[in-house]
Amino acid sequence: MVIGTLSFATKRGRLRQTCGVLLVAGLWGIASPSQAGCPATQAPEGSGTSTDPYLIQTVNNLYWMSEVGDGFGSGQLSDASTSAVYLKQTQDIDAASINECPDPWNSPQLKGIYDGDGHRISNLTAYKNGNALGLFGTLLIASDAGIKNLVLENFTVGDEDARDVGGIVSSVAYATGASDPSERALSFSRLKLISSTLKTTDFSGKIGGIISYLGPPPTGSGISVEVTLEELAVVDTTMETTSSGTPAVGGLVGNVQGLQDFTLKNAYVDASLIANSSGNATRTGGLIGWLDGDATDPNVPSGDVEKSYAVLRDGVGSNTRPSSIALFGSFSTSDSDMDLTFQHLYLESADEDVGDTSGLTYASTRVSAADLLDDATFSGFDFTASGPWRINSAVNDGAPYLSWEFPDPEVTVDTSPVPPGAGISVTPSDNPITVVLGQTQSLDITVNPGYALQIDPASTCAGSLTGSTYQTEALTEDCTVKINAFNHGDAFVDGSVEVEDAAPNSGDGNNDGVDDADQVEVASVLLDSDSGSAVYATVESLGGRPLVEVSTSSIDTDNFASLPGLPEGSEAVLGMLEFKALQVANGGTETFKVTVHSDAALEGVLKWNRVADQWDSIGTVSGQSVTFYITDGGPYDRHGSADGEILDPIVPLTSVSTSGGASGTASGDALAVPTTSRSLLALMAALMLGLVFLQRAARHQQQRL
């Protein structure tokens, strides 16, 4: 029963949940539905030093960062008594469960360096910490600081009234401890924001795909800082301001102010920038929204901006993009006072009339969508093997990308399932094999005679096996080819590989150009026949599943003893064909094809329905073949459980004649019991009707006489 209520608020003072205090069987508990999926915080391994960084290995470690990153200069990640905190991510992290917490992602402050180590964080919604909102809120610069080697995917804003909204970092500030050095460095490198949405409604809100605000050290502090942004990408992301005030939106940086040593190079943006057309829409730039001097010191940005491009997409929503945009939105100090060098910069936009609103004099090139696909367009970009840029039609819609984004994939060959006697050999023998991005890889695989190859369904390298060669599809990411081999003699209950070799088409029962003995998913066997002639049947797993325990039996054997009788009028002159399919996805559905090599027409197949306890006619007949599908654990799987194996006995039905297409002795325990075929029954019924008609006609004639 509910005997009271408990209300609590987050650190930011927002009421998140009202809970009932329950008394159940004398036990007290708190009902909190929103916490059901919330991960518990867990302190990471490591001590946070450069040689022993905190290891962010789980979503629990990640959420710990949010909890200890609060408090300007006082949180565990921004403690004023430390020079820098070091963190290193060890695997990809899905942060969606943090969104279920009553106190979700708090845009933690960081004083130090976060190394994503090539991993990604996905599905995170961030809430503001003061005016700051981002994966990190405020980045405190004490000595060296920065974020590197990280992909942030599907990142969204929880507080749209936040002032400084950045994908990776909201803004920077400077530690002023007595022991902090005067010369400092800030670096953002190898970062990518993808498939995300950044938005602010604040009157003077600023948005940057990487960082919202980059400002100078305090005037008179004696601090100098070298700021470097390189090898950055913002892709498939929407950035939107709705205020009619003075917002700024930049594909990479919202606002750069008064930095004396600033470098931005080898970066690109492919995003939608949306600004309120009635506001100060000029502060909207594909790379930087607003270049500004220090409000208290007439410093202006100095440094280099080079080898970068932006693709500006049409925005969506009630607000519209400004009619004139450029790589840089606006500059509040005249050209004569600035010391920035601009070179090798390119802009592509869906707008036909794109104007430069910045007031800057800088060299940039307007390019078309077609120009983006040609590396010759981008003068100054280094597309060499050791350079940062790549271009490949297989990725990034054919536009230039950074080499670290899509490295050449590696193919790992896993032969662990192969039995020792198979004597498997794979060429090339390198493992893993590095493949040029967008290219295919061929593997030549050999096994000892009597073994058949199969590419395990667990393989992640899509492709096809032809004979002993596996050819992958074009590769854009690391993958694994998992190989198995089966002793084909094990596929038959009686081990009669020699019988299979004598199947029609010289041992190629399914006539696909490959001997059945060389395919684990194909088997040809002799059926029992009451005519005394040998009749072959070929069974195929069209999904490539290995077939084992292939056997035939007569209708009067023990295999039928536990099953109900066949439907009245059904004729099973060929007995029963039984096989087991392995490596089926649990509960999955597989398609099979059975071909009966006989001059007697195939009329269909009967399948025992274990649920209805009856025989059903199933499948689609085409000539001498019938195609049907069985679901693992379904009514036609004799196993009766979704265990990754399908046990599939069937009864082929043919017309009276069973003259076979090969010689030999039928396998099985006994000949089938002859019964009357459905065709013969139909003929007899027609004759009976004819006799009745003639008798009636004769009687009618006699009556007339």
To the nearest whole percent, how much of the chain has pLDDT over 90? Answer: 45
Alpha-carbon gap, residue 294 to 258, rounded angstroms: 5
Pairing of strands 27-31, 469-472: unpaired
What architecture (CATH level 2) is domain 79-84+112-366?
A: 3 Solenoid (2.160)
pLDDT tens readout for residues 217-257:
888 888 999 999 999 999 999 999 888 777 889 999 999 98
Q: CA 14 → CA 32, 308, 325, distances in Å?
A: 16, 41, 38
Say what the pLDDT of residue 340 is.
78
Cβ neighbours around 179 below 10 Å, total: 10
Say what the pLDDT of residue 603 is.
81
Say what the pLDDT of residue 691 is.
56
- DSSP annotation string for 560-593: GTTSPPPPTT---TT-EEEEEE-SPPTT-EEEEE
Q: Is 222 exposed, middle or buried (0-12, 13-18, 19+ CB in 10 A)?
A: exposed
Out of 105-114, 294-303, 532-541, least confident range: 294-303
Say what the pLDDT of residue 333 is.
55
Cβ neighbours around 37 below 10 Å, total: 12
Alpha-carbon gap, residue 576 to 565, rounded angstroms: 13
Given a contact cutoff of 8 angstroms between Cβ atoms, the answer to whether 69 and 137 are in contact is yes
Residue 482 pLDDT more than 90? Answer: yes
Q: How confident is the model at residue 278 (pLDDT cuts 50, 70, 90)?
A: low
Residue 430 pLDDT more than 90? Answer: yes
Given a contact cutoff of 8 angstroms between Cβ atoms, the answer to whether 555 and 613 are in contact is no
Residue 459 pLDDT more than 80? Answer: yes
Which residues does residue 470 pair with via DSSP β-bridges, in sequence order? 443, 465
Q: How confident is the model at residue 673 (pLDDT cuts 50, 70, 90)?
A: very low
Q: How confident is the model at residue 25 (pLDDT cuts 50, 70, 90)?
A: very low
Given a contact cutoff of 8 angstroms between Cβ atoms, the answer to whether 167 and 125 are in contact is no
pLDDT tens readout for residues 133-152:
999 999 999 889 999 999 99
Residue 665 pLDDT more than 70? Answer: no
Which candidate, 217, 231, 10, 208, places its Cα nearest to that of 106? 10
Say what the pLDDT of residue 309 is.
96
Residue with more model confidence, 503 or 481: 481
pLDDT tens readout for residues 367-403:
889 999 999 999 999 999 999 999 999 899 999 999 9
Instruction: Check residue 447 and report its DSSP letter.
Output: -
Q: How confident is the model at residue 500 (pLDDT cuts 50, 70, 90)?
A: confident
Which candidate, 279, 282, 212, 204, places its Cα nearest to that of 251? 212
Mean pLDDT of 559-573: 57
Residue labelled with tokens 């194996």: 645
Say what the pLDDT of residue 83 is.
73
pLDDT tens readout for residues 326-376:
788 776 655 445 677 889 999 887 654 444 444 455 667 888 899 999 999
Residue with more model confidence, 633 or 361: 633
Mean pLDDT of 635-659: 78
Alpha-carbon gap, residue 76 to 65, rounded angstroms: 9
pLDDT tens readout for residues 48-88:
999 999 999 999 999 999 988 765 445 667 766 667 899 99
Alpha-carbon gap, residue 402 to 267, rounded angstroms: 8
Which candidate, 299, 276, 301, places its Cα nearest to that of 288? 301
Say what the pLDDT of residue 332 is.
62
pTM: 0.68
